[in-house]
Structure 1
């Protein structure tokens, strides 16, 4: 047995390892640290016995206390649902006007509607309800079928041009390809653009006004401000759904694009539709 090496300066035994003449002192660990380490070992063993901890082939050990984080979460969810039941019952029994007039119900409906909107409506209208090309912005004041609570509820419940629902909103802009020649189409597009912008051809826009009155005013109104009951958009507010500019207007006049919105009443139920109604109305553009 080799003799232990003692460091000459500190008087402490070394580990016996040497690197280029450098030796490592074999200082013992502090007693408080050693006992803390032992306690953590005991704690780990006790935890593994008391709680689910050791993975098996298809499951894990259940633990002496039978604790389950999933069961605890489910219990919390069940309690939350019970707490929400009274609000859902009240919303189901009230009109959207009554819900909007009740501060607590309105707050609950907006929260529920916001959640339903993110899941069901955001893919088309955007997460912030700002819409996009062909999909209306629900934050502004431009409404095709009305922006009051009843109108929004009807639109959400029955959709737009949704054939499976007999009460859906229906409006079809005819294609004027066979009714107007290319020159007339450009003139009426110039007139519509002139309502909010400077047209490319002022004389053409002037001629397009009469063409508009003869062909478009029946739906959009003589002042071009639209008719909510017909789903005819306001053309004089600089808010464009299918694209802005004279070329975009020409394309829409010649070959109109018509969007389809599904009816949500059958999918979500009356209560969720009411919550969505109050939420959309609260975005700032509701009438």
Structure 2
């Protein structure tokens, strides 16, 4: 039988393990640790009894207190909807001028619309409505389909080139691909469009100016400033949806463009759409 060795300082026996003269003591677990373990196990037992705890196939133990976070959340949402029912009804029934004239109501509209924009519009139009390739900038005062809240609400509702029966529709023809213009004419028109920052020169006898009047003026206007509400943008400003460099313009003329904006009628409520329209309408003002 091995001899039991006891540490002369603490009085505890050793385990027999020795590391370079350092011997491991067979000391008991501290009382504080034992008390902590007992308390935590008792707390867990109480939690099992009082709270939803154990999964049982498709259900779970409900607990004596009957706490259900899903039900609580639904109740909180219902209470919030009840609390804002009055002013949300005003968003649907009042005209935009009346909403703008009420500072508190307008503030509620903008505050509520901000996350709606972030969740539904920002992925395409960018944070703050800064736009991007193929998606118009909303934070300037350049509008294709009209920039009033009523115009914007209509665009949000029906979309552009969407499956809504009343969708706004616009398409830039593929002048090159469909052989309406040859490559030389496409190049000529590309250079001409880049010179339009000051508008069309009346009576310009150049071949490029004549090609523009014959092929483009019907949509973009004889002065190239676009026709709001038709989807044809102004070509004399610095706002470009697909890019104003030579390569982008050439690509637009060659292969055409047909943007798409979905209809939001089935995803957003009428009140949401109207608040969002007011939010987008005021974006240029906030961007200054």
* TM-score category, normalised to shorter length: 0.7 to 0.9
**Contact 2:15–2:24 at 8 Å: present in 1 too?**
yes
Partner of 2:186: 185
1:32 and 1:163 map into 2 onto residues whose CA distance is 70
Does structure 1 retain, via aligned residues, the 8 Å contact 2:226–2:234?
yes
Q: 1:153 to 1:58 in 2, by over 3 A?
A: closer
- Alpha carbons 2:7, 2:14 under 8 Å: kept: no
Q: 1:254-269, aligned counterparts within 5 Å? A: 254-269=254-269
TM-score (norm 1): 0.79
> 1:17 maps to which residue?
16
Instruction: Indicate if the aligned counterparts of 1:14 and 1:26 stay in contact, CA closer than 8 A.
Output: yes
Instruction: Answer yes or no: is the 8 Å Cα contact 2:174–2:257 preserved in 1.
Output: no
Q: How many residues align?
A: 278
1:255 deviates by 3.9
The answer for unaligned runs of 5 or more in structure 2 is 199-204
Contact (CA 8 Å) 1:12, 1:26: kept in 2 or not?
no
Task: Indicate whether 1:133 and 2:147 are aligned.
Answer: no
Change (3 A) 1:4 1:98: farther
Q: How many Å separate the matches in 1 of 2:38 and 2:175?
A: 87
Say which SS state the counterpart of residue 17 (structure 1) adopts: strand
Q: Check conservation: 2:13, 2:26, Cα contact below 8 A.
A: yes
When normalised by structure 2's length, the TM-score is 0.79
Cα distance change of structure 1 residues 50 and 15 upon mapping to structure 2, 3 Å threshold: farther
Structure 1: segments with no counterpart, 5+ residues: 198-204
Could you say which residue in structure 2 is the equivalent of 1:49? 49
CA distance in 2, matches of 1:29, 1:164: 74
Per-residue deviation, 1:57 = 4.1
Q: CA deviation at 1:235?
A: 0.9
Alignment of 1:27-176 (within 5 A): 27-126=27-126, 128-162=128-162, 164-166=164-166, 168-176=167-175
Tell me if the contact between 2:99 and 2:106 (Cα under 8 Å) persists in the aligned partners: yes
Tell me whether 219-228 or 178-187 shows the greater mean CA deviation: 178-187
Distance, in Å, in 2 between the alignment partners of 1:106 and 1:66 is 41
- With 270-279 and 121-130 compared, the bigger mean Cα shift is at 121-130
Task: Give the CA RMSD over aligned residues.
Answer: 3.3
The answer as to whether partners of 1:147 and 1:285 remain within 8 angstroms in 2 is: no
Q: Assess, with a 3 A threshold, how the Cα gap between structure 1 residues 273 and 2 changes in structure 2: closer, same or farther.
A: same
Within 2, Cα distance between the matches of 1:28 and 1:163? Answer: 76
Deviations 1:133-172 (A, max 9, x none): 3221222332111112122112112222346423x33344
Matched residues in 2 for 1:53 and 1:176: separation?
67
